[in-house]
């Protein structure tokens, strides 16, 4: 899951980025409206956190332009306490929700999950294949009822595979969804993470779920082919 944070208070932007990264999100931060708008239009985000009062272009204008350009990523507006009329303008512009600063990280986190869930229209949040279950909200994975402990990045890779079960997920898709815009790590990083996931998820089980599609990527499926 990829999130864009557009917030000119760098300290706040960095706290949010750090917290969400620890949750396993890939997070890009922009510190003014122009940069934020550029990223929102050129990359695909699962959610955009958008401050209203921003240098260069304000959040309401950005949101309106995104919707005009048919960019449907959920937008959560951030507004200072005094700017009540901003909330109205924000929601009018096509934002999905707003939060008043200061807010707790826990509340932010639960709003984000709610918005992403709503936008993906999942009646049941739990992702399943065979005896494996992943709960994106509680951040839990289990196989045959036994909990599996994953790092945040492993969890993100697993979630992406499960959201595309029985489909091939390319290495590029994994890098784009799990790492951020500035990623320039080792080219085999994805293979390293998938190998580790395999050890945790498939080792000791009769049915292997994670399959390598040579030269392309990976697939989670009950059938091997």
Residue among 51 and 180 whose Cβ is closer to Ca ion: 51
Please identify, among the stretches 18-26, 45-53, 151-159, 215-223, the one whose residues bind Ca ion according to the rule CB under 5 A.
45-53
CB of 85: closest distance to Ca ion in angstroms?
16
Structural element, H or E, at residue 38 = helix 33-42
Farthest-apart Cα atoms in the chain, separation: 59
Instruction: Using the minimum distance from each CB to Ca ion, give the nearer residue, 8 or 131.
Output: 8
In the complex, the smallest distance separating the C-beta of residue 19 from Ca ion, rounded to whole angstroms, is 18
Answer yes or no whether residue 180 interacts with Ca ion by CB under 5 A: no
Bridge partners (DSSP) of residue 99 are 78
Q: What span, in angstroms and rounded, lies between the C-alpha atoms of 26 and 9?
A: 20
Q: Which stretch binds Ca ion (CB under 5 A): 48-56, 95-103, 133-141, 157-165?
A: 48-56
SS3 222: coil
Residue where the block lists tokens 């290495």:
171
181 burial class (0-12, 13-18, 19+ CB within 10 angstroms)? Answer: middle
Residue 53 interacting with Ca ion (CB under 5 A): yes
The stretch among 49-57, 67-75, 124-132, 160-168 that binds Ca ion (CB under 5 A) is 49-57
Query: What residues pair up with 95 in beta bridges, in sequence order?
Result: none
- Please say which residue, 62 or 158, places its beta carbon nearer to Ca ion: 62
Element at 111 (helix H, strand E): helix 105-120
Of the candidate spans 10-18, 51-59, 95-103, 118-126, the one that interacts with Ca ion by CB under 5 A turns out to be 51-59
- Window contacting Ca ion (CB under 5 A); options: 15-23, 53-61, 64-72, 168-176: 53-61
CA-CA-CA-CA torsion for 191, 216, 21, 192, nearest 10 degrees?
0
What number of residues does the chain have?
225
- For residue 51, the cross-strand partners are 78
**Nearest-approach distance from CB 110 to Ca ion, in angstroms:** 23
**32 touches Ca ion (CB under 5 A):** no
Q: Quick check: 73 and 94 in contact, CB under 8 A?
A: no
Q: Which residue in the block uniquely carries the two structure tokens 């390319």?
A: 170
Indicate the residue among 56 and 199 with the shorter CB distance to Ca ion.
Answer: 56
Query: How many CB atoms within 10 Å of residue 133?
Result: 17
* Binding residue (CB under 5 A) for Ca ion from 23, 51, 154, 159: 51
Nearer to Ca ion, 86 or 96 (CB): 86
Kindly state the smallest distance separating residue 64's Cβ from Ca ion, in Å. Answer: 17
Residue 12 or 148 having the CB closest to Ca ion: 12
The residues binding Ca ion (CB under 5 A) are: 8, 51, 53
């Amino acid at each position: 899951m990829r999130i864009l944070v557009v917030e000119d208070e760098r300290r706040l932007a960095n706290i949010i980025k750090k917290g969400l990264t620890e949750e396993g999100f890939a997070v890009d931060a922009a510190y003014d409206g122009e940069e934020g708008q550029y990223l929102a239009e050129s990359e695909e985000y699962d959610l955009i956190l958008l401050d209203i009062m921003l240098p260069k272009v304000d959040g309401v204008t950005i949101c309106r332009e995104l919707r005009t350009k048919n960019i449907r990523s959920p937008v959560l507006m951030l507004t200072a306490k005094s700017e009540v009329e901003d909330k109205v303008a924000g929601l009018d512009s096509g934002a999905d929700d707003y939060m008043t600063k200061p807010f707790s990280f826990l509340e932010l986190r639960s709003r984000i999950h709610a918005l992403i869930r709503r936008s993906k229209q999942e009646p049941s949040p739990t992702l399943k294949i065979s005896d494996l279950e992943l709960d994106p909200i509680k951040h839990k994975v289990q196989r045959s009822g036994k909990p599996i402990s994953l790092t945040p990045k492993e969890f993100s890779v697993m979630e992406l595979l499960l959201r595309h079960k029985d489909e091939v997920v390319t290495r590029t898709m994994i890098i784009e969804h799990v790492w951020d815009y500035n990623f320039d790590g080792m080219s085999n990083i994805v293979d390293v993470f998938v190998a580790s996931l395999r050890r945790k998820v498939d080792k000791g089980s009769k049915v292997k779920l994670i399959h390598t599609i040579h030269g392309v990527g990976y697939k989670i499926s009950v059938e091997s082919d």
